[in-house]
Chain A
Amino acid sequence: MHRRISDIRPLFVAALLVATAASALPGGASAPRELTEEATRPPALRGVDVEEHLGEQVPLDLALTDEEGRAVTLGQLLPGNTPVVLTLVYYRCPMLCNLVLNGLVRSMRDVGMTLGEGYRAVTVSIDPLDTPLKSQQRRRHHLQALGMPERAPWSFLTGPDEQVKRLADAVGFRYTYDASTQQYAHPAVAMVLTPEGKVSRYLYGADFPQRDLRLALIEAGQGKVGTSFERVILSCFKYDPATKRYGFYIFGFLRLGALVVFGALATLLGVSWWREFKKGSVA
């Protein structure tokens, strides 16, 4: 599924936050997005976009460098039993990356699942000039903010340009380098991968409601994380591509309600008729 959405300009993060709040309800604010069509954007932001590659496998053989300076492949970091939150940032980014990561950290604190048990996190730098040392600093900073020990499984990776490009292409993350400001222009998004490394959900913005993150993790976990009750809840909330949120899903709600009512009545009638047949009073 390839779905184009427009970028959120770094300078309009404040506006985005307002829009996020307004779009919390299904059918909320989808209009502003229409205004930022590709052609109306400043040249620096052309080619900055997310093309949703839902269900696409990320390349597991990518050769990257972790925060300790060790060479790792992406496949080694995917443990195969928990979903993974993937973010693409760069470390000297003046604003948006921090907003995204801080927003993610806030949401991870409240999500009700422990990093390392319910899910893992991977952050990859899109800037080939970033070094493992900077990875290390970043990692410390965010793990402290999260209140997690150093050994928590949140990898910060750097790597050569063509390796990172392969990853970005696989997940549909499109960014450009603006030579005049020496900054990267890139979308604000976190991706949730299935344990096998397939793209499951995109979470947009710099502020991730913990419900959205939790539902995305449960959905990506394919029954391996979260409680069974939450999988029931998940059928009442559905990812709404128009608002890019998990919205109240009336069909799921109805289906559940119908099952409950029908099940209750069927049980009542089943037990009653079973007794009648046992008594032999149906003649």
Chain B
Amino acid sequence: MSQSASSNPAAAPAEGHAPHKSYLTDGTTVRSWLLSVDHKRIAIMYLVLILLAFLVGGIFALLVRIEHLSPGPTIMDAMTYNRVFTLHGVVMVFLFLVPAVPSIFGNFLLPIMVGAKDVAFPRLNLLSLYLWIFGAGLALWGMINGGADTGWTFYTPYSTTTTTTVAPILVGVFILGMGGILTGLNFIVTVHTMRAPGITWFKLPLFVWASYGTAVVQVLATPVIGLVVLLTAADNTFHIGLFDPARGGDPVLFQHLFWFYSHPAVYIMVLPAFGIISEVVSAFSRKNIFGYRMIAYSTLGIAFVGFFVWGHHMFVSGESTLDAGIFSVITMLVGVFTAIKVFNWVGTVYGGAVDFKTPFAYFCGFLFFVVFGGMTGTALGVVSLDVHWHDTYFVVAHFHFIMVGAAMMAFLAGLHYWFPKMFGRMYHEGWGLTGATLITLGFIVTFVPQFLAGNYGMPRRYYEYPEQYQALNVISTLGALMLFTGFFTILCYLIYALRHGKLATSNPWDSHGYEWRTASPPTTHNFDGPQPFFPEEPHLYTTKPAPEAQHAV
């Protein structure tokens, strides 16, 4: 950290300090970034890296869609196709979706939202960034040197016998998981121990609740995937025979272990997204959040129930009827908790003075996608329907509605909502709405045809398909191109705004969220002077705000 001491003490304020610099300009060397323990700088580094990963995953997705323009071979051979869709899945899940919201927005905002000057363990935070870089590097290296053709689920026994290089990718996933666990631990301890005076649990911003719930899931579930990928890598390399039935192993055990992590992982992706939406919907409806406690409790409810639904991925893996029925019913409970949130968000908008800015546009898209994705998910949770839809494009469309439709829209909503907070500049609102429109429409055009194709019986992961599905696939690919245009638009105007955007005031949305009570961009220590005191509840809009908060001394 560089010094903020002024060269002219006489000009300094009474405390003997120069005006505090923003975290962006406090130290400009490469070293001051790479070795920074400031949670905001770490978040910005995550932002850049994770967006790069998203770009890679997006290009792979586009390649898959282009390949499906014609029923037969289009631009690549079958093996390349297998590798490409595997890499798309691995990159998007492990490098983008799982870390995106916690590592970027969680890191940046959680300490500010609880009135702290950093997370509880800043060095551990930096370590988790480097674990991400190392894990991602290893996984990408494996993908470039041979790639994997197993799909992102790495199902055994194929993944233990394939000749492609799955082992480095699996070890990469393991290392990424360690970074995730450290981030989760950091958040849990930060929320418990670093809250400013006056912030009780039910005065926490809902994004903090969501991050806390996510952190618990992450710490509990990630060791399982860590273990299972290590065992699979060992099985693949040394042929131990843990999951390979030819050597006395049990492939179904792999599925249990894999989904025991990977289903809660869906909630690692969407719970923080729900948190962003709770913030955005309240800020742009100019209204108190409706049912604050219900939203907080339903977060914990999803986090808890999410651990007991993994079996719904295995209805066709020889599960007993009783087990399948139990998993099916518990799966419905996730729908109940999600519906509680949806109704509360709608209740928040109802009667509000909606300020239809870009983040709100993403909220609208989000609401549609999460309901649509959630309803199809509940349908897939019914055993008899799942047997029909299993491993078809219906499933692909469903989880893209949740993972892209919900998580990605919320990510973009958060990115636009907090862009002035992070960089102190405004993007162009008109372009923002254009981007949101392109993304929302592009998404619908991409994935609705996939629901139809899947329902008509088009299997997922296949290189070729019967001609009858071509029209739907062409529409889907056009939608993907539209999505790509949308992302490219966003990239352009955001990068432009970084340098040339209008300077933002400290609270451009006039939001009442705790994070807006400091400068935008914040100073290195987030709050100048003593630790702040927030007397109001968060998301408080409709009653007249209390007079200017007094600093507790």
Contacts and interface: CB of A to CB of B under 8 A. Distances in A.
Nearest to B228: A254
Nearest to A258: B224
Interface in A228-283: 242, 250, 254, 257-258, 261-262, 265, 268-269, 272-273, 275-276, 281-283
Contact of B248 (A242, A265, A275): A242
B471 interface: no
Contacts of B201: 276, 281-283
Contact of B227 (A257, A269, A275): A257
Interface size class of B (residues with CB under 8 A): 20 to 34
A27 interface: yes
A26 B220 contact: no
A27 B200 contact: no
Contacts of A272: 188-189, 192-193
Contacts of B224: 258
A21 interface: no
Interface in B216-249: 216, 219-220, 223-224, 227, 231, 240-242, 247-249
A261 B248 contact: no
B292 to A, nearest CB: 13
Interface in A131-190: none
Contacts of B220: 261-262, 265
B241 A26 contact: yes
Contact of A250 (B200, B219, B242): B242
Given A261-B220, A269-B188, A281-B195, A25 B240 contact: yes
Contacts of B231: 250
B75 interface: no
A258 B223 CA distance: 8
Contacts of B240: 25
A254 B202 contact: no
A144 to B, nearest CB: 41
Interface in B239-277: 240-242, 247-249, 253, 257
Contacts of A273: 192
A242 B249 CA distance: 12
A269 B216 contact: yes
A281 B223 contact: no
Contact of A283 (B185, B189, B200, B219): B200
What is the interface residue range for chain A against chain B? 20 to 34
B216 A27 contact: no
Contacts of B257: 254
Interface in B150-194: 185, 188-189, 192-193
Contacts of A242: 248
A26 B245 CA distance: 12
Given A25-B240, A27-B247, A276 B202 contact: no
B299 to A, nearest CB: 15
A265 B192 CA distance: 14
Q: Describe A's contact surface by its main secondary structure.
A: helix
Contacts of B253: 250
Nearest to A273: B192
B241 A27 contact: yes
A254 B188 contact: no
B202 A283 contact: yes
B242 A275 contact: no
A281 B193 CA distance: 11
A281 B192 CA distance: 10
Contact of A275 (B192, B200, B202): B192
Interface string A205-248: 00000000000000000000000000000000000001000000
B413 to A, nearest CB: 30
A250 B227 CA distance: 11
A276 B199 CA distance: 12
A244 to B, nearest CB: 13
A165 to B, nearest CB: 37
Nearest to B221: A261
A271 to B, nearest CB: 9
B200 A282 contact: yes
Nearest to B248: A27
A36 B247 CA distance: 21
Interface in B59-101: none
A278 B185 CA distance: 22
Nearest to B223: A261
Contact of A254 (B192, B200, B227, B241): B227
A242 to B, nearest CB: 7
A258 B261 CA distance: 12
A261 B260 CA distance: 14
A236 to B, nearest CB: 13
A272 B189 CA distance: 8
B223 A257 contact: yes
Contacts of A262: 220
B195 A26 contact: no
A281 B220 CA distance: 25
A273 B216 CA distance: 13
Contacts of A254: 227, 257
19 contacts: A25-B240, A26-B241, A26-B248, A27-B241, A254-B227, A257-B227, A258-B224, A261-B219, A261-B223, A262-B220, A265-B216, A265-B219, A268-B185, A268-B188, A272-B192, A273-B192, A281-B199, A282-B202, A283-B200
Interface of A: 25-27, 242, 250, 254, 257-258, 261-262, 265, 268-269, 272-273, 275-276, 281-283
Given A262-B220, A276-B201, A283-B200, 16 more contacts: A27-B248, A242-B248, A250-B242, A250-B253, A254-B227, A254-B257, A257-B223, A265-B220, A268-B185, A269-B188, A272-B192, A272-B193, A281-B200, A281-B201, A282-B201, A282-B202
Closest 3 CB pairs of A and B: A27-B248, A272-B192, A27-B241
